[in-house]
Copies of this chain bind each other. A is one copy, B any other.
């Protein structure tokens, strides 16, 4: 069985690469998917459809285009990893986690100890909390191959 793992959240560090590399070294039968992680492309995802002077509608248009991808990938994943980093609001990551929870998809959170409290609702519905990408790889290895 091939497992689909959706990687959600922070796009400014290399946590995705670390997990993918770790899984590759172990030869895990895993396919990783993500939203488009290039920040500028993501913000401009709908710009070719219609110009918008209004920032709200520009963001609206691009976010809906992005959701064509993310909705499909979230609904098809077997496991998700939701990463919260140090910067930005990251409401999209918590929004993804809410969707995963409502769809009954098991997910692992990945974040530092200092944000345990604001993430308590997101963690309560998660199946595991990891502090490092290596811990995530260990969970995947155990879940998939032992």
Contact = CB atoms under 8 A, between A and B. Distances in A.
Interface residues of A, number: 78
Contact of A121 (B66, B100, B116): B66
A21 interface: no
Contacts of A90: 91, 118
> Dominant SS at the A interface?
helix
A49 B1 contact: no
A56 B50 contact: yes
A103 to B, nearest CB: 5
Interface of A: 1, 3, 31, 33, 36, 38, 41, 45-46, 48-50, 52-57, 59-69, 71-72, 76, 78-79, 84, 88-104, 106, 108, 115-131, 135, 138-139, 142-144, 146
Given A60-B120, A84-B91, 16 more contacts: A1-B76, A48-B138, A49-B129, A49-B130, A60-B123, A64-B124, A66-B124, A67-B106, A67-B127, A71-B104, A92-B94, A92-B122, A95-B98, A95-B122, A98-B101, A101-B102
